[in-house]
Structure 1
Amino acid sequence: MVMNRNWTKCPAVEEIPSVSIDAFNDYENITFICWKVHNDWVSKIKYIHSVETIISSSNDESTALVIGCVSRTKNVKHRLKTLMGSRSGCRNKFPTPAGASPPKRFQCDESVFKVYKGVKTFDYCRENNILVTGGLDRNIRLWNPYIPGWAVGILRGHTSPIGFLVIVHGSAKIFSVSLDSTIKVWDIEAHSCLLTITPKVTQIRGEMEVCYFSPDLQALYVAADNFALLRFQHKGNQIRDSGMSHNEPVLCCQYNKQFQQVVSCSEGSVIKVWNLKNGQLVMKVCDAHGETAVTCMALDASGKRLITGGRDGSLKKWDSFTLSCLYTIKQATSADDEVLACTYADIYSNRYIVSVGGGRKINIFPELNDELPEGSNLQPDWTESVGKGHKDDISCVASCPPHFLATCSFDGEVLMWNLVSGHLCSHLSAISRAVMEGGTGE
């Protein structure tokens, strides 16, 4: 149909310019064509200007999706009949009489795709020569538009019927939205899911009603009980990487009850802070300990201060709210003195930072003011713990109020220390060899 500007002068229906079908006779440039295409309600229709065809879908399995011509038919006899009628001056603008069933297209003028449980939504990309469909069976099917017999690929993963599909031109990606408002990003070439965004993350409530994708803004509009705008950035492999918390192995994780956040650190010397409720990244620090890994961390009782230990043997104190470094303690005396674990310890009214790791040392530093100059090199208090303590590197440490400290090493030993005197209180070990041999003898 060719629209005419005079339609805006017609009486408005619910504030929308409208025109009745009967009024088409008054406009010479308008041609009305009607076909019987589907055996059920039409769920979606789209005109593809580049190939001058109409694609429509329905929930009927036998006519789930139909690609058909607009006006010119490939049927030779019908074209000759139409040509002879135009020469004789006959012109029927309404080929279907009122009340009669509309005719069907010729088989040569349409391609019919049969899909289990029908098609609720689809999209077509001429650039990639691909057609995608989705519906009640929760599967996304990829088709060659010229081969309706079988799908070239099936993407599975949605747990609810699919209500929206769009092929992002120029990026070989598919965005899909199911009726439960779950959004997925798919790779067309690899037939794999790159990203899943749940309603809990987007805060979308209720069942999805309608969606729209803006190519200019690279944004997805989703309307449910509320309206949401999701913007996607395609910088490098950002979408691919966004599904992972870190690009390197995660070495430690802490929960900050004060801010309801999760703090994680990785082998790549990256510290990240996450919102526990929606899983979104709040902030991050790269090269936190230079080029060395962040191996451990500890939060104080208030959650406002964070201590991290590095493979370079240094400790850093951070402001938990801004992740700004307050000061650095350089405790390493050799390349093997990496920090493997750290914690806070309170002795009466005084607070200390305790770190353990390579070299079998227990390092105890007094909690200092935040104005400590960057790069201060403090001396630990427990230098004698090397001779009296563990025989292997210390792997972890825990504070036991009011004045005890527990440490364990890679050889399986657990030691209890008195924080006030520095003396070894007890040695917790597995069953000794002598006892095991005696038990075997019995």
Structure 2
Amino acid sequence: MLGFPCVLTAICYWYDIQYPFKPSLLLVGDEMGGVHVLQFLNPTRGLFKNVTISKKEHGLQRIYLHHLRDHEGTVSYRYIPGVHQDPVNRIIFESGTKVIMTSSESSLTSVVFFNMSEKLNQYIWKVRGGVTCFDYNARLQLIVTGSSDCVVRMWARYVTTRPVATLLGHHATVLDVAIYQPLEQIFSYSRDAELRVWDITIHECLKIVRLHFPCLQAAQISEHGNFPLLLLSPPLPDETRPHLLVGCKDYLALLSLSEKQRGGSRAGGLAHQLGECGVKVVLSCALHNPSLQQVVTGSTDSTVCVWDLNTGKKKLHISNAHGEEELSCMTLDSSQRRLITGAHNGTIKVWNLLNGLNLHKLQPLLSTVTGLLWLHSDHLVAVGLSHCIVEYDLATSKDLHVKAKSSWKSSIRQQSDIMALCHCPAMDIIAMATQGEVIVWKLETQMPFLHLCKETSSGEVPAVDCLIFLQHRAVNQFLRHKGVLVSSQAGFTCFWSITGEKHTYGHFYAPEQSDERVLALSSNQSENTLLVSGDTLGWLQVWDIAHFGLHVQDQVVSERPTLLHRWRAHSGALLSVEVLEMAERVFILSASDDGSAGLWTLDGDHVGLFGQEALWNLTDPCTFQADSDMQGSLTEERSDMPRRPSPEPCGTGGQTSQGDSPCGKIEQEHQGPQPAMVTQHSLFNLHSIVAYKCNTCLFTV
């Protein structure tokens, strides 16, 4: 169509999906704030009357606005002037109530709802500076607006005086918003190519996705057009999945969406299992804060969550702690009021655990942070994949940015990457795990004094996955010269002495299957009678080590200590386990790369997963998940059960049948509580984001 009196700035086409032969509407907004309404009476037969087309027009039918009277049988036209004082930037038609919804950057008429008949009163929302975009959902009776002030606002359908919620976080003009009703979430997209996902219920940002379009250049304003978002949501044709398209210049980003909840809890959800927006996220670290009775978890999507240990409820949520970088490790300061996190890009940050405030950003000198250690003098030691040790002095620092000290006193650079770090205050030493050995350092001299290495029968030196000090043995003068350091290499758990000429004090293969690894170790540090190990198949084992590691052993394969309990805690590899001693009871904290963190009793009863809907009470076992028929019965391995012989050391080719249990019987595998596959926060899979380059506009793709 041609011949409009002014520039057209917004468009909306509506038709009845169930009855496509019924009249359809074309709504067009212009730069004068008016709305053009074209109703096509029989769209399936044609929008206009057939007109003879000349060869020069190449098959195009040109219809001029002032000639619409010649098409009265097929289309009707009406112009509604002065709806806004500024150009119309968005139009939506709500078919149920026959209401036309428009928006502009006018402060007096930011969003206007009016009936097609113009007989009913208008609803007018006023936002200082107007709005750049809006979306409406009839089922939720919700309006969402975006503005040049970088704010996303949620409004009730019939309340124009103030918003239901104000969503802050964008750093550039919000160009487009979209309501995803199946999961009650909101997409918002800003000029700096940042896509944010918001939860409608709790009014929180669930995820930030920065789209790296090839056409984006620093210090230049990107070309997005007036409608960068295109949300295709149910109902859709069969075998068509909902998805979101984001356009920038001649590129498109495609994000696949989940249609519905397929399990899980709406109240909190398993926040790490699928991230904060449904992306499959791996937990990378977890720890217990005994002072605040909290559990802190970190994930690969740079999210930090703080949970109440006594109930499993989330207390604090920090999104994008390190931008888009994966969290790699964390630790607490001596007061246990501050959290220190490290990421894969070498950045280190210090957080206030009471309010989530970022207190310090430490100068990055490592390529990837793999270990953090807070010393009693308010000094932080960091290690990583840069073959060096970095120290920070936080005792007197009040600045946000803290520089690293010149260097660790030792001038010896590591020959390999450092994978883990642990501290023994009683002996004033630290131990570092590398690709093939454990290096023990004296803190006083900052010099290494011991190298511990375990070779396989084939002569290979496997990487050290994790290590811990048995603190009670180190304090006890009769035990400190025994096996006080425990490491894991290729599935073998090794006990080491730090003093004397002989350092090998026993080792055994912990997993029940060959070629597996132990990624997490913990002990009850008050007595060191228990050792808890977690392997790559998600199995958690509790060992009696009260009398293990007290004598020098040179055998190739050592007898295993008594296995007290064993169960499969998670469906994925266990990345962290911790023994919690509380009020004469012992619990075990576990975190897995299946995205969940859970709590267990010592004998294997499942307390619950952090973030589940049903809260627990640690003083009332009736609230535990195992006692409420929410999981199957647990299989326990008792101390009086005969044990399966340990497999051959790595490299010998020893195999173990999956059907063999430690007692030589067929064992019913307990899978533990299986995390829900999709939660309330399920949205899109980041791996499905692809950029398309086209030579045509967004609407022709």
Query: Taking structure 1 as the reference length, what is the TM-score of the superposition?
Result: 0.52
Q: How does 1:272-287 map to 2 (within 5 A)?
A: none
Match of 2:173 among 161, 164, 168: 161
For 1:309 and 1:52, how far apart are their aligned partners in 2? 64
Secondary structure at the counterpart of residue 69 of structure 2: helix
**Counterpart secondary structure, 1:186:** strand
* Cα 1:67–1:18 shift into 2, 3 Å: farther
1:196 correspondence with 2:208: yes
Distance in 2 (alpha carbons) for counterparts of 1:20 and 1:298: 69
What letter is aligned with 1:220? L
In structure 1, the partner of 2:500 is: 387
1:82 is matched with: none
Once residues 213 and 365 of structure 1 are traced to their aligned partners in structure 2, the CA distance between those partners, rounded to angstroms, is 56
SS at match of 1:387: coil
Task: Write the distance in 1 (CA, Å) between the matches of 2:298 and 2:99.
Answer: 57
Aligned-pair identity in percent equals 22
Structure 2 match to 1:45: 91
In the TM superposition, 1:42-441 aligns within 5 A as 42-71=88-117, 73-74=118-119, 108-200=120-212, 205=216, 206-209=222-225, 210-215=228-233, 217-225=241-249, 226-233=251-258, 237=271, 238-240=274-276, 246=283, 248-249=285-286, 264=328, 341-344=432-435, 353-354=437-438, 363-366=452-455, 368-369=459-460, 385-387=498-500
CA distance in 1, matches of 2:59, 2:123: 38
* Secondary structure of 1:158 counterpart: coil
Alpha-carbon distance in structure 1 between the residues aligned to 2:298 and 2:181: 40
Distance 1:38 1:263, change over 3 A: closer
Q: Which has the higher helix share?
A: 1
SS in structure 1 of the partner of residue 454 of structure 2? strand
1:30 aligns with 75
Deviation at 1:56, TM superposition (A): 0.6
The alpha carbon displacement at 1:192 in A equals 1.2
- Give the Cα separation in 2 of the matches to 1:174 and 1:128: 12
Structure 1: any 5+ residue segments left out of the alignment?
75-107, 254-260, 268-273, 278-295, 312-338, 345-351, 391-442
Residues of 2 paired with 1:243 and 1:21: CA distance? 52
Change in Cα spacing, 1:160 to 1:212, as seen in structure 2 (3 Å) is same
Distance change (3 Å), C-alpha of 1:353 and 1:129: same
Letter in 1 for 2:247: A
Higher RCO (C-alpha 8 Å, min separation 6): 2
Closer, same or farther: CA 187–18 of 1 in aligned 2, 3 Å = farther
Report the more deviating stretch, 233-242 or 159-168. Answer: 233-242
**Could you tell me how far apart the structure 2 residues matched to 1:139 and 1:152 are?**
13
Residues 453, 461 of structure 2: 8 Å contact kept = no
Change (3 A) 1:365 1:40: same
Question: What is the Cα deviation at residue 185 of structure 1?
Answer: 0.4
Are 1:204 and 1:228, in contact at CA under 8 Å, matched by a contact in 2? no
- Contact 1:361–1:386 (Cα < 8 Å) also in 2: no
Contact 2:194–2:210 at 8 Å: present in 1 too?
Answer: yes
After superposition, the C-alpha distances for 1:330-354 in whole angstroms (9 at most, x for unaligned) are xxxxxxxxx963125xxxxxxx523
Cα-Cα RMSD: 4.7
Contact 2:110 2:126 (8 Å CA) reproduced: yes
CA distance, structure 2, for counterparts of residue 20 and residue 9 of structure 1: 14
Shift of 1:51: 1.8
Q: Counterpart in 2 of 1:89?
A: none
Q: Could you report, residue by residue, the CA deviation over 1:142-182 in whole angstroms, capped at 9, with x for unpaired residues?
A: 11121222222211111111111000012111000011211
2:145 and 2:177 in contact (8 A); partners too: yes
* Residues 285, 328 of structure 2: 8 Å contact kept: no
Once residues 222 and 124 of structure 1 are traced to their aligned partners in structure 2, the CA distance between those partners, rounded to angstroms, is 19
Q: C-alpha separation between the residues in 2 aligned to 1:25 and 1:379?
A: 91
Higher mean displacement: 10-19 or 210-219: 10-19
Q: Normalising by structure 2, report the TM-score.
A: 0.34
Give the 3-state SS of the residue equivalent to 1:31 in structure 2: strand
Count residues in correspondence. Answer: 283
| 2:131 partner SS | coil
Q: Is the 8 A contact 1:183 1:196 kept in 2?
A: yes
CA contact (8 A) 1:342 1:356 kept: no
Q: Report the Cα distance in structure 2 between the residues aligned to 1:115 and 1:15, rounded to whole angstroms.
A: 46
Residue segments in structure 2 that go unaligned for 5+ positions in a row: 1-37, 217-221, 235-240, 265-270, 288-296, 300-324, 332-342, 347-381, 388-415, 423-429, 442-448, 464-488, 504-701
| Structure 1 position 20, deviation (Å) | 2.4
Q: CA deviation at 1:300?
A: 11
* 2:48 counterpart SS class: helix
SS at match of 1:25: helix
Map of 1:85 onto structure 2? none
Task: Tell me how far apart the structure 2 counterparts of residues 340 and 140 of structure 1 sit (CA, whole Å).
Answer: 49
Alpha carbons of structure 1 residues 263 and 197: separation in structure 2 relative to 1, 3 Å: closer
**How has the CA–CA distance of structure 1 residues 136 and 15 changed in structure 2, closer, same or farther, with 3 Å as cutoff?**
farther
Q: Distance in 2 between matches of 1:228 and 1:51?
A: 34
Q: CA deviation at 1:126?
A: 1.0
Q: 1:2 aligns with which of 33, 39, 44?
A: 39
CA 1:308 to 1:139, structure 2 compared with 1: closer, same or farther past 3 Å?
closer
Secondary structure of the residue aligned to 1:146 is coil
Secondary structure of 1:141 counterpart: strand
CA distance in 2, matches of 1:109, 1:379: 79
- The CA distance in 2 between the partners of 1:155 and 1:194, in whole Å, is 12
